[in-house]
Copies of this chain bind each other. A is one copy, B any other.
Amino acid sequence: MREVAVIGVGQSTFGKFPQRSVVELGREAVLAALNDASVSPKDIQVAYASRLYDVGTMAQAILKEVGISGLEMVNVENACAGGATAFRGVWKDIATGLYDIGIAIGVESMTTSPIARKLIPPAKDDLEGQLGLTMPGIFAILARRQMHEYGATLEDFAMISVKNHHHGCLNPFAQYRKEFTVEEILNSRMICDPITLLQCCPNTDGAAAAILCSMKIAKRYTTKPIKVIGSALLSGDYTYLQKDITISPLGSKTAKMAYEMAGVGPEDIDVVELHDAFANEEMLRYEELGLCKPGEGVRLVREKATWVGGKTPVNPSGGLLALGHPLSASGVRNIAEIVWHLRGQAGDRQTPNAKIGLAHMLGGAVAGLEAGACGIHILAR
């Protein structure tokens, strides 16, 4: 396996832009990434694109007017891990020597998608689908269990949302740049008890892109190549077969694979971007990623260890809760965020002297009640 570097990243501003097509959003991100990498469109040898619903031939549609043509293009879906899947596709093709340079794109317009303004339903033909469980319902069940098992309180969950909204204020790309108090979050509209509106990620339009190449040629383009030292993508492993639904074997196993490949442990990670579709979800992911022991996520929240300026900042971008969540875009966008931290370009939200960062994305009926997909990448400068 060859060493692979990320040499360019880009994202559109996230928000509600019903007048902009997914193709236009994607093009903005692609042009930003090409510009960031100082790469000519002609250099690109392989492209992967992802959109959560009806990806179709999105790569072809986005790339044709940028002048990227006559190469292998693959369109992928993997629920909310689609962007991570696209990134891994490019990484695999370069690491194994098939190509030298490629682009990963994630895009979604939630205001114009066929599933716009609907609750994302669980995958069809799923057990949860038959039970009528929507995403907020699944996470509400988990929240109650976290309270019962680990002593988490409503205030603890709200504090995660306070943190990520605070981070959003530091990020010019964020959909929401507004501070909220614990009280405001708990008093916002009830969505599915105990989850209130401000503990749910919003509907978002946006796109992100990343350009990868073999380390061998990275120096042609940049003096700051960011290495991909760990990559793992897994599906399956059914939490409903477990005793404790707060422990997802899928997430833990994917993290273990990524750490082993990277030759680092959770204690070596300086900055994390993870899937916080709901505030209480972030606490579950702390544990799966090994940032703390199982059941100790509450402690991390109370110690403010995951704030910008804390021991291990988590979701300095604002995360899905405040930056916004254009589904498949998020799994490429979170890699861009980590790249900016490792390059020292993250502005007001910069993690000081960040050397290693982790980008996590989870998709499908992500509570772990059903098999979706988990994609984790570990990057290093």
Contacts and interface: CB of A to CB of B under 8 A. Distances in A.
Contact of A123 (B57, B63, B97, B253): B57
Interface in A71-98: 71-79, 85, 89, 92-93, 96-98
Interface residues of A, number: 52
Interface stretch (A215-223, A233-241, A290-298): A233-241
Contacts of A89: 74
A72 B123 contact: no
B123 A237 contact: no
Interface in A112-139: 114, 123-126
A141 interface: no
Contacts of A64: 236, 238, 371
Number of copies: 2
A264 interface: no
A56 B98 contact: no
Given A72-B234, A236-B64, A373-B73, A78 B97 contact: no
Interface of A: 21-23, 47, 53-57, 59-61, 63-64, 68-79, 85, 89, 92-93, 96-98, 114, 123-126, 233-238, 249-250, 253, 363-364, 371-373
6 contacts: A57-B78, A57-B123, A64-B371, A68-B236, A74-B233, A75-B78
